[in-house]
Amino acid sequence: MTKLICLCCLLLPAAPLLSQNLLPSEWKFRTGDESAWSTVQFNDSNWKTIRAGELWESQGYPGYDGFAWYRAWTMIPSSLKAKAQQYGGFILRLNKIDDVDQLYFNGVVIGQTGQFPPDYLGMYDALREYRIPEDQINWDAPNLIAVRVYDSSGGGGIYGGSPILTVKGITDLFSLKLLMQPENHILLNPKKISIPVNIANDSNESMTGQLILEINNDFKQPISSQTLKVKSGKHSSKTITFEVNPLPPGFYKASIQFNSEVIHQSHQFAFG
């Protein structure tokens, strides 16, 4: 990958921190196709794991085309029940899937995008967003998410970022924005760096959470990390600025994250 010495800020889709996002980073994975793999009774302990959000070809399955399944278990706390009832359940965002998928939650079909063979219709570029009804949830107990995937050729699987599971409605009313100006993305001389972040909450709920800044160097080694406790009032907007000690010239990758009980949002960016 070619590096740009002057940074173009990379605002990426929300990439979850898994403790708040309710989903694991790695999912159970197996090629093939068996209907039993959708059920909660099936034992997947001998399956391999891969990262949901990256094509399976890059994770040990080069050149594989055909059917495959992803499975993940998640605990959903009953502390979210009232909000789920208020807003209509949960939203599972799987980002994109190459090419066709069918989603099961606790063994029940929730939805499908595209058509499986023999009436194949690929929809590799469509965003997957599925509503999980509140009455399908096992509160304070394991819940199974199973995704059946078919790939006709080329890259296959869930891609475009890690899946996100959140209470429906809240996420769409909350935004996290990096306000760092383009001229501040070029790190030429060691000096203190200001990174302003705007939090806007248009919902009827006040939220208290953690605002986190993490900076790594080009070798993925941690360089700086700051965590602030932040209260975001309903129908409010505020800007918070991180002050970072001088860094030597180089290429850096960073993320800003806001984590609360019902919200996780993040942006990734780079400078150097």
The DSSP 8-state label assigned to residue 168 in this structure reads T
Spell out the domains of the chain, with CATH numbers in brackets.
Answer: 24-162 (2.60.120.260), 171-271 (2.60.40.2550)
Q: How far is CA 147 from CA 36, 71, 120, 142, 256, in A?
A: 12, 6, 17, 16, 29
Q: What are phi and psi of 32, to 5 degrees?
A: 110, -170
Q: Quick one: tokens of 260?
A: 């609360």
Half-sphere exposure of 75 (CA within 13 A, CB side): 5
Helix (H, G, I), strand (E, B) or coil at 120: coil
Q: Which tokens sit at 245?
A: 């000690």
Asked if residues 104 and 111 have their Cβ atoms less than 8 Å apart, the reply is no
Place of tokens 């009804």: 133
**How do the pLDDT tens digits run along the chain, 272 residues long?**
333 323 333 333 333 322 357 899 899 999 999 999 999 999 999 999 999 999 999 999 999 999 999 999 999 999 999 888 887 789 899 999 999 999 999 999 999 999 999 999 999 989 898 999 999 999 999 999 999 999 999 999 999 989 999 887 767 678 898 887 655 555 666 678 889 999 999 887 889 999 999 999 888 899 999 999 999 999 899 999 999 998 888 888 899 999 998 788 888 888 76
- Do 192 and 243 meet the contact criterion of CB atoms below 8 Å apart? yes
Provide the residue type at 228 as one letter.
Answer: L
**What does the alpha-carbon distance between residue 110 and residue 108 come to, in Å, rounded to a whole number?**
6
Q: Is the peptide bond between 99 and the residue preceding it cis, with omega within 30 degrees of 0?
A: yes
Instruction: Tell me if the pTM is above 0.85.
Output: no
